[in-house]
Every structure is written in structure tokens, then in C-alpha cells.
Amino acid sequence: MSRLKAEHLYKVFGRRPEAAVRRLADGADRDELRADGTTAAVIDASFEVEAGQIFVVMGLSGSGKSTLLRMLNGLLDPTAGRVLYDGRDLTALSPRELRDVRSRNISMVFQHFALFPHRSVLENAAYGLEVRGVPRAEREERAAEALELAGLKGWEKSWPDELSGGMQQRVGLARALATDADLLLMDESFSALDPLIRRDMQDQLLDLQKRLKKTIVFITHDLNEAMRLGDRIAVMRDGRIVQNGTAEDILVRPANDYVASFIQDVDRSRVLTAGSIMTGSAAPAAGLPDDATTVSADTPVAELFSPFARSGEPVAVTGEDGELTGVVTRDGLLAALGDQPQVAQGAAPRATDPEPEVTAHA
């Protein structure tokens, strides 16, 4: 069963929102509604997030991604559609029931830290437990454990203004972890950080995810961040999800020209993996030397250059059990890096669509 499921979510602001939903379902677009004083922020969004998965929602400003996130934990009521958490319809809960779910099962990490300046780092990390009514000794113990997980052991008695931006964001992350919520919602959580600190926080999140196996919905406008973090990525435009897939799916098979324009400058060697470009044919495998380099299927292609530079021999790809699953040849590596992504047939955007104002940096 999916941990989180969105079913045909709409969010419309303005006059007669239910009538606007019907018009959208019949084919009207955002511009038609805007002319009538109505804003369609999210249009027919559906997706599933599996337990332990990082699901990234990516889009430019105004695409609807933050509005979508706020419907997932009930901060905004959808105009239409449902949000299911472990099969439970959150949109049907009373305000009191929804508050209970938010305090116990769903935590949020904000873009601008949202720390209390008059509370210590430990007190900030323990705040969610305090709201829940957890006794002081227990909440401080759990908050200290979460701070250690977030790399802030020894900073418990410090004040927020004594911390760097990256450290403050770690406190926000620790506060979410302290509640032991299964679902973390992260809204542009690293976008206010300097690039090096931002990458460090991405590393921190990936390391924590390996250990804790949380379910995470992560909002970003940055393609490289999405590709680095996401097990699956939903690309939003004008309120709609235009593609939902793995980083490899989006890189190799963009749904339309709009998505293709995002990924044209991406370093393919850091997204594609050995498993995605290997061949399972018997001929290359038969020619493998006994001392052939061995890698796992999820090894980035960028890490395969050194073995080829040393020996020029094919690289063996093995599964979790150590059994050979395929090989990567030099020709296969060069072909994968040289291939141009193929836009899915029949998925081209409308002729009136403007080009996206975005540059992806490898």
C-alpha cells in the first residue's frame, strides 16, 4: 500500500471554485479562468508515494508545487479530490483529527527555518513534542537524539542566532525528526542556503534517509537538486503534473519539449547508472577477465570512467547477491552519454507555451 496518495487534487482560488473545477475538467485552461477572476493553482494532480521514498515535486515559481504540498497535510483544503495517508482520507477528517495526524504522523520542514529566537537549539528541536504534551524529560531526550542525527551534537544550549544558516536548517530538520513522524514534507527547505551548504544538506538528508527510511515529499525549483534527491520526480507546470517518473525516465524520455528544455544541460553521467546502460548479453560477459572491475547497478556512470581508463575492459555489474547481472562496455558507455533524449510522441506542448526561464547547472 502507498504511504501517501493524491487523487485528482484541484485547488482554485476566487469566485465559484467548484464551477471552475468543472470547467477545468472539461478542458478549460488557467488563462480562461484568470480572465474571470479565478486562479487555478493546482489542476487534477494525482500521484502515489511509497513508504521510504523521496518524492520530489519540481517546478518554477507559480507552478503550484507549494500549494500542492499544503494540501497534503491539510493546511489548505482541496477544492476537489482526496489525500490518503496509509489509506485514511485526510480530507474527510475533522479539524481536531487532522491536527492529531499532523502532530504525530506528518512533520514539515520550512524554507526559512522557522526557529524561535528566544529558545535554545534543544528547545527548538523539542517544540513539536512540547505541543503534543510530551513530558519535558522525554522530549529533551528525543530532541537531543534528533540533533545528534542532524549533526548538531554539542550545540544543544546554543541560540539560533549563534548558528550558521546551514546549522539553523539542521535544527529545523531535527525538530521534524524528533516527532518520529513517518512523513516529512519539505518546502524548498534548502533553497535559502549557499550552494556548498546546500549540497552538504542534501548529503545529510540522503544519509539520514539511508538510516531512517522516512517517506519524504520534497519541493524544489532546482533540477539538479531534484535529480540528486528524488526516487521519483513530478514536474509541474501551470498547476498540472506534466511528468512523473525517475530521474532516468525524465532525462532519457522527457514527456514534452517543456521538460526536455529543463534537462538539456544536465550532466547525464551523474544521473544515469550502470544498471541503466548495461547489457545482459552472454557475449560480453563471456569475455570478462577474472580481475574485472565490479560495480553495483546503482553506481553513477561518472564513476565508470576510471575503470575504463585503467584497463579498457568491460565493467561487471552485480546484484545485491553478488551475482553478475550485466556488463558495461566502452561503446555502451559512450553511446549512453551521446544519445539525445527523445520527447514522448504526442506530448508536445501547445504552440502558445512560452519557453521556461530556467538554466540547469551540472
pLDDT tens by residue, 265-278:
788 888 888 888 88
The per-residue pLDDT for 191 is 86
Strands 315-318 and 106-109 turn out to be unpaired
Burial of 157 (0-12, 13-18, 19+ CB in 10 A): exposed
Determine whether domain 51-263 maps to CATH 1.10.10.10.
no
Residues 134-155: b if buried by 16+ CB within 10 A, e if exposed: beeeebbebbbbbbebbbbeeb
The per-residue pLDDT for 342 is 66
Residues 6+ apart with CB under 8 A from 300: 269, 270, 271, 272, 273, 274
Burial of 354 (0-12, 13-18, 19+ CB in 10 A): exposed
CA distance 42 to 30: 10
Asked whether the beta carbons of 58 and 223 are under 8 A apart, the reply is: yes
Cell matching residue 119: 529558545
pLDDT along the chain (362 residues), means of 10: 92 93 91 89 96 94 93 94 95 92 89 86 94 93 94 94 91 92 92 88 92 94 91 94 93 89 81 84 62 85 79 83 85 77 54 36 32
Pick the CATH number of 269-338 from 3.40.630.190, 3.10.580.10, 3.20.20.70, 3.40.50.300: 3.10.580.10
The per-residue pLDDT for 339 is 65
**Closest by alpha carbon to 30, among 328, 239, 191?**
239
**Closest by alpha carbon to 347, among 230, 245, 220?**
245
The reported pTM is 0.84
The per-residue pLDDT for 206 is 93
CA distance 262 to 273: 20
Alpha carbon 318 to its chain centroid, in Å, reads 27
**How many helices (H) and strands (E) in the chain?**
16, 13
**Domain range annotation of the chain:** 51-263, 269-338
CA distance 323 to 229: 28
Pairs from 154-157 (Cβ < 8 Å, separation ≥ 24): 155/121, 156/120, 156/121, 156/122, 157/120, 157/121, 157/122
